[in-house]
């Protein structure tokens, strides 16, 4: 399978992305990429990487998000490459509005699997689409910040950023 690989800069550090057939399959901090790349290969089989021909649209959307346009990432076309349960969790994460948070337990209940809190957490941790599938919006049931592949400082920054620009209409 041929996939495009590219790299972009954000205020939180460099990110790498994988795209196939015009859809985003992965977006992760550069230092997390080795794990994400291995996961993609396990799910999709051998990958032939080629340089991304054009990253202007994704770059523009990321820049807009960081400038305060919190809704812009909803327009990114993605391919959720995971198990059925993971895809359900990731789809539910995309429904959490910017500026809001939810607990892993609430996500499990929303999916009709109230006892699957740990499985929801594991799916959240396996999210290959950082930011576009906003796993940073999932927090502990006590309101604590728990787990984030990019580190809790980045998670804290993202939540503060979204709170700064959040409006009920966004």
**Residues designated catalytic:** 135
Q: Which of 164, 160, 96 is nearest to 127 (CA)?
A: 96
Residues 145/155, Cβ–Cβ less than 8 Å: yes
Round to whole Å and give the CA distance between 17 and 27. Answer: 4
- Class of residue 10 by CB neighbours under 10 A (exposed 0-12, middle 13-18, buried 19+): middle
Those residues with Cβ within 8 angstroms of residue 121's Cβ, 6 or more apart along the chain or in another chain: 104, 138, 146, 147
Q: How far apart are the first and last CA of the chain?
A: 37
């Amino acid at each position: 399978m041929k996939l495009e690989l590219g790299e972009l800069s954000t205020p939180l550090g460099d990110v790498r992305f994988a795209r196939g057939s015009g859809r985003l399959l992965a977006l992760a901090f550069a230092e997390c990429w080795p794990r994400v790349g291995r996961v993609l290969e396990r799910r999709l089989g051998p990958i032939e990487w080629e340089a991304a021909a054009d990253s202007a649209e994704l770059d523009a959307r990321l820049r807009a998000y960081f400038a305060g346009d919190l809704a812009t990432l909803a327009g990114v076309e993605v391919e959720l490459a995971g198990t059925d349960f993971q895809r359900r969790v990731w789809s539910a994460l995309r429904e959490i509005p910017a500026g809001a948070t939810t607990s892993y337990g609430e996500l499990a209940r929303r999916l009709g699997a109230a006892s699957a809190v740990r499985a929801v957490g594991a799916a959240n941790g396996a999210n290959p689409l950082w930011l576009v599938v906003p796993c940073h919006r999932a927090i502990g049931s006590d309101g604590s910040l728990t787990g984030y592949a990019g580190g809790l400082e980045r998670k804290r920054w993202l939540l503060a950023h979204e709170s700064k620009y959040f409006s009920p209409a966004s």
